[in-house]
Structure 1
Amino acid sequence: MTANQKMTMRVILTEADIRKVILHSRPSTVKDLITKLRESLGLQYNFSLQFQDPEFNNELCNLTDLQELPEKPTIKVLPVFDLVPVSSDDVFSDTSTADTEILSHSPQDRREPWPEFFDIPTFSVDVEYRLRQADLLFMSEGTHLKVSKELKHEILERLAESMYSYTAYPTAAQFESVATALINKHPCLQERGSVTRCCGWKNSLKHKMGNYRTKRRQSGCLDVAVNAGKRGRHSSDGQPANKRIKKAKKGEINYLPNFPDGFDQAALEEARKDLADEMQKRTPNGLLVKQKMDQTFALRRKEVVFMEFSRIVGKNLKQEFYENIDRHSPRFLELFRSKRGNVGQFRLICYSVSFPKTTDPTAIRTQVLRGLPIILGDNPSTFFKAGFESDADFFRDLDIGILLTEREEAVLTSAQHPSPTLLKIIIEGEVVMENIQDLPKAMCILFGLTYALHLNYPKSMKLTFLFIQQILLSLGHTDLKPKIQSLKNQLTM
Structure 2
Amino acid sequence: MTSKPQGRSPAFKIKRPKRSEVNYCPQFPVGETEATLEKLRVELLTDIKLRNGKEMVKAKMEKTFSYRRYEVIRDAPMVQDFKGRWPALFDVFEINSEFKRLTTLPLQSRFLSKLDLLSRKLQALYEKRGGQIGKKLKQLMEEMKTESGEDDLDSVREGVLRALCVYLNEDPENLIKDHVGHDNTVFEDYAEETTVGIFTSRRHEAQSKPDDIGIILEGQVVIQELDNVPLAISLLFGLLYALNMDYPPQLRYFFEVVQKVIMELDGGVLSRKAQALINRLYE
TM-score w.r.t. length of structure 2: 0.77
Corresponding letter in the other structure for 2:45: A
2:198 to 402, 407, 412: 402
Pick aligned residue for 1:273 from 30, 42, 58: 42
1:259: how far off?
Answer: 0.9
1:135-284 matched pairs, under 5 angstroms? 247-249=16-18, 251-284=20-53
| Counterparts of 2:14 and 2:232, CA distance in 1 | 31
CA contact (8 A) 2:100 2:107 kept: yes
Q: Which amino acid aligns with 1:257?
A: P
Indicate how the Cα distance of structure 1 residues 404 and 281 shifts in structure 2: closer, same or farther if over 3 A, else same.
Answer: closer
> Alpha-carbon deviation of 1:338?
1.6
Contact 1:341/1:347 (CA < 8 Å) preserved in 2? Answer: no
- Distance, in Å, in 2 between the alignment partners of 1:347 and 1:477 is 29
Q: 1:423 to 1:295 in 2, by over 3 A?
A: closer
1:483 aligns with one of 257, 260, 273? 273
Q: Larger % of helix: which?
A: 2
Q: How far, CA to CA, are the matches of 1:476 and 1:276 in structure 2? A: 35
**Deviation digits for residues 442-474 of structure 1 (CA, Å, limit 9, x no counterpart):** 111111111122221122111101101011111
Corresponding residue SS for 2:167: helix
> Take 1:381 and 1:290, find their aligned partners in 2: how far apart are those partners?
35
Per the normalisation by structure 1, the TM-score is 0.46
**How far did residue 295 of structure 1 move?**
2.6
Q: Which amino acid aligns with 1:301?
A: R
CA distance in 2, matches of 1:421, 1:262: 47
* Alpha-carbon offset, residue 420 of structure 1: 4.2
The answer to whether structure 1 residue 388 and structure 2 residue 180 are counterparts is yes
Aligned to 1:378: 170
Aligned residue for 2:152?
360
Q: Secondary structure at the match of 1:303?
A: helix
| TM-aligned CA deviation for residue 421 of structure 1 | 4.3
Could you say what the CA RMSD is over the residues aligned between the two structures, in angstroms? 2.5
CA distance in 1, matches of 2:15, 2:237: 20
1:319 aligns with 2:114: no
Q: Identity over the aligned pairs, expressed in percent?
A: 31
SS at match of 1:349: helix
Deviation at residue 378 of structure 1 after TM alignment: 1.5
Name structure 2 gaps, 5 residues minimum: 1-12, 73-81, 83-88, 90-94
Tell me the residue number matched to 1:151: none
Equivalences, count? 243
Amino acid across the alignment from 2:189: F
Question: What is the match of residue 161 of structure 2?
Answer: 369
**Does the aligned pair in 1 maintain the 2:213–2:224 contact within 8 Å?**
yes
Is residue 422 from structure 1 mapped to residue 212 from structure 2 by the alignment? yes
Letter in 2 for 1:405: S
Per-residue Cα deviation, 1:267-291 (whole angstroms, up to 9, x for no partner):
22122223333333222272x4444
What secondary structure does 2:224 align onto? strand
**Kept after mapping to 1: 8 A contact 2:163/2:172:** no
Superposed CA offset, 1:290-329 (max 9, x none): 4433332211121235441111111110110011100011
CA distance in 1, matches of 2:262, 2:250: 19
**How far apart are residue 425 of structure 1 and its match?**
1.4
CA distance 1:453–1:246, shift in 2 (3 Å): closer
Residues 379 and 291 of structure 1, relative CA distance in 2, 3 Å threshold: closer
> Which of 26, 46, 69 is matched with 1:301 structurally?
69
The answer on 1:350 being equivalent to 2:141 is: yes
Secondary structure at the counterpart of residue 21 of structure 2: coil
**Residues 359 and 451 from structure 1, CA distance in 2 versus in 1: closer, same or farther, beyond 3 angstroms?**
same
Judging changes above 3 Å, is the alpha-carbon distance between structure 1 residues 289 and 380 closer, same or farther for their aligned structure 2 residues?
closer
Distance across 1 between alignment mates of 2:66 and 2:183: 40
The worse-fitting range, judged by mean Cα deviation, of 438-447 and 418-427 is 418-427
Change (3 A) 1:357 1:490: farther
**Pair 1:317–1:400, CA change in 2 (3 A):** same
1:9-34 CA-to-partner distances (Å, cap 9, x unmatched) read xxxxxxxxxxxxxxxxxxxxxxxxxx
Distance 1:295 1:403, change over 3 A: closer
Shift of 1:477: 4.5
Distance 1:406 1:245, change over 3 A: closer
> Any unmatched runs of 5+ in structure 1?
1-243, 413-417
- Residues 387, 279 of structure 1: CA spacing in aligned structure 2 closer, same or farther, 3 A cutoff? closer
The structure with the largest alpha-carbon Rg is 1
Cα drift, residue 336 of structure 1: 1.5
